Chains A and B, each alone.
Chain A
Amino acid sequence: MSVSAMFVALQGALTADQDIREEIRKVVQALEQTAREMLTLLQGVHQGSGFQDIPKKCQKAREHFGTVRTQMESLKTKFPADQYYRFHEHWRFVLQRLVFLAAFVVYLESETLVTREAVAEILGIEADRERGFHLDIEDYLSGVLTLASELARLAVNSVTAGDYSRPLRISTFINELDSGFRLLNLKNDSLRKRYDGLKYDVKKIEEVVYDLSIRGLNKEATGGVGGEK
């Protein structure tokens, strides 16, 4: 084969690659849009009045996950199934965001940490690499770390809204999460950097719990939503 023929073939391969990336980018943009809408919806819980209709907000967010699932289905068709990591960078960010949103919804509903399998199911993808489009473990963990900072914020705002019991429950949860992350030997990568932020979330929540404790507010009856003055 002549040199020029070889380069023509290579150029063809590169163009095909670019086309795939273009297609992926389109779907990822749609996913990002859905994720933003969900985030806006869930941000509502930080407002004083938002605490009452947490279940309703979760319900609505769950409906959005239906859209996510169809968008994920279309993303899966855009590239060969065995080349997940070749294009991983394109959806990495949005996937982490979606993991966070799913984890936030599950936490608000049941105050537990969503499992990797459950997130995969919510998003309509697989938990195992062997079975197709999957949820990478590092993306899952990143999403969970975002949840931690969101909960630290929620602890502060629930005090403002007069719900004094929630910070205590969040504190227990975050502490367990912290112990979990302590088990991991993280490399010096982006996940490790995110993990380094977890201690500030832990500290923030501890401060909230401390403030409540010295005022005797942590012994009040649970569910004091609405703020008794």
Chain B
Amino acid sequence: GSGGFRKRKHDNFPHGQRREEKENVNPSSPLMASFKSFQLELDTRHDKYERLVKLSRDITIESKRTIFLLHRFTSAPNGEEILNESEVKLDAVRRKIKQVAQELIGEDMYQFHRAISPGLQEYIEAVSFQYFIKTRSLISVEEINKQLIFTAEDREEATNVTSDSQDKQPPTCSLKVTPVDYLLGVADLTGELMRLCISSVGNGDIDTPFELSQFLRQIYDGFTFIGNTGPYEVSKKLYTLKQSLAKVENACYALKVRGSEIPKHMLADVFSSKTELIDQEEGLP
């Protein structure tokens, strides 16, 4: 009864009042003018962020494909060809990274770091994997950064692609990988190395696993040296890294103990069952 009436009145009146006041808001007042400029500023910032996220996704996808390609290296007789192909792919990834670098000209890189970080980590994983296959050693941050300095001549074609209205640009632009991105990328690399180890055993290659376990141990030592001085994400990866290392060490152990007893052609079988066993253990809580 009266409650309904009151409610209706309550609904109507402030509404009318408000509309009246809405009309009082002068669209050209200083406050409205400054909010119009805020709108522009925020939209520009969000657009840039979205473009970077998209580039980061593309970088991730292409880097993943490069890693898959490199995994075929061990089994394929045409190793050289695969390496060349991976180089072509990585060049394509770097062209994308150059677009990222161009977006970031004159900006604070850390403002947009969250947009590009996943892509960069994947790229670091791919490039360090390729570097390992080629040289059997770990690529340094400096080496990675050196490849991410882009010069003027290939800048032109990229500006055509993006068709940005920036007509004036510095002669070079570059992107610097942060230590944390590098560490996370390297931690992911160890997972790939573990896969490489198991698959090379499957191919009857008995030298690579030992080499890999040596290398992984060095990286693991490095990570334990850093310990918890790094950010949370790094310590989180340390656990997975330990598992990967254990798998590789167990593989080497099995090779050593049983390699001398088992005929070479049966090694692959021994290993496939061994890895299954490890996978099962991993499945347990």
Contact = CB atoms under 8 A, between A and B. Distances in A.
A pairs with B: yes
Contacts of A210: 10, 13-14, 17
A200 B34 CA distance: 23
Interface in A174-195: 175-177, 179-181, 183-187
Contacts of B182: 10
B36 interface: yes
A54 interface: no
Contact of B35 (A8, A13, A181): A181
B35 A180 contact: yes
Interface in B258-277: none
Q: Identify whether the interface residues of B are mostly helix, strand, loop, or mixed.
A: helix
B78 interface: no
A209 interface: yes
Given A11-B229, A14-B230, A210-B17, A6 B35 contact: no
Given A176-B25, A213-B17, A185 B43 contact: yes
A146 B34 CA distance: 18
Chain B: interface residue count, which band?
35 or more
B101 to A, nearest CB: 15
A4 B29 contact: no
Interface residues of A, number: 48
B230 to A, nearest CB: 5
A75 interface: no
A183 B33 CA distance: 10
A141 interface: yes
Interface of A: 1-4, 6-8, 10-11, 13-15, 17-18, 82-86, 88, 113, 115-116, 129, 137-138, 141, 171-172, 175-177, 179-181, 183-187, 202-203, 206-207, 209-210, 213-214
28 contacts: A6-B138, A6-B140, A7-B225, A8-B225, A10-B179, A10-B182, A10-B183, A11-B225, A14-B180, A15-B229, A84-B110, A84-B111, A85-B108, A88-B111, A115-B30, A137-B41, A137-B42, A141-B38, A176-B31, A183-B32, A183-B35, A183-B38, A183-B39, A184-B38, A206-B18, A207-B14, A213-B17, A214-B13
